[in-house]
């Protein structure tokens, strides 16, 4: 998949971003508590509000949104949230390119680290992050996040 383009999203993309995130995480729904799934798959209004908090990128191919990732500045680290690639297109470079755009932005803005949270069941995501220089900082306890444990990962910039 090389014919896709990545651009900064706008508030007009909120519904598409929310729909894509929901579609990407729906196959893993049974591994989430209700609260965790609701937080992971925010609706369009929540996504719209996130544009004021930090950048959101979208990947498109032939006018179709195929991937998204958002970032949130937090001290010396830049938080990666809501990374999603359309099912059926995963493993074709969309996620890697989205991460590269986010990393470029974070470097240029002077951040020292990227960080994110992921779940054990998201094996493909963890593999993508590790291939791109992320390492495990710690296991997160279920009590920390809606009853679901996982991993905190980080990358030095």
Among 36, 47, 156, smallest CA distance to 106 is for 156
Domains of the chain: 5-156 (3.40.630.30)
Tokens of 7: 């651009």
Residue by residue, pLDDT tens for the chain (157 residues) are 458 999 999 999 999 999 999 999 999 999 999 999 999 999 999 999 999 999 999 999 999 999 999 999 999 999 999 999 999 998 889 999 999 999 999 999 999 999 999 999 999 999 999 999 999 999 999 999 899 999 999 999 9
**Cα–Cα dist 117/153, whole Å:** 6
Q: Is the dihedral of CA 141, 138, 25, 157 positive or negative?
A: positive
Whether this model's pTM surpasses 0.85:
yes
Among 76, 133, 80, smallest CA distance to 110 is for 76
**Cα–Cα dist 45/15, whole Å:** 8
């Amino acid at each position: 998949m090389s014919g896709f383009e990545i651009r900064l999203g706008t508030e007009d993309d909120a519904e598409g971003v929310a729909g894509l995130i929901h579609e990407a995480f729906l196959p893993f729904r049974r591994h989430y508590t209700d609260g965790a799934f609701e937080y992971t798959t925010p609706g369009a209004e929540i996504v719209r509000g996130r544009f004021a908090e930090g950048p959101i990128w979208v990947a498109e191919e032939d006018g179709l949104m195929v991937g998204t990732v958002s970032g949130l500045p937090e001290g010396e680290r830049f938080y990666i949230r809501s990374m999603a690639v359309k099912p059926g297109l995963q493993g074709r470079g969309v996620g890697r390119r989205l991460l590269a755009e986010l990393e470029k932005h974070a470097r240029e803005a002077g951040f020292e680290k990227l960080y994110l949270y992921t779940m054990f069941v998201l094996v493909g995501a963890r593999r993508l992050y590790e291939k791109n220089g992320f390492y495990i900082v710690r296991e997160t306890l279920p009590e920390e996040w809606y009853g679901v444990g996982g991993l905190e990962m980080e990358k030095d910039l």
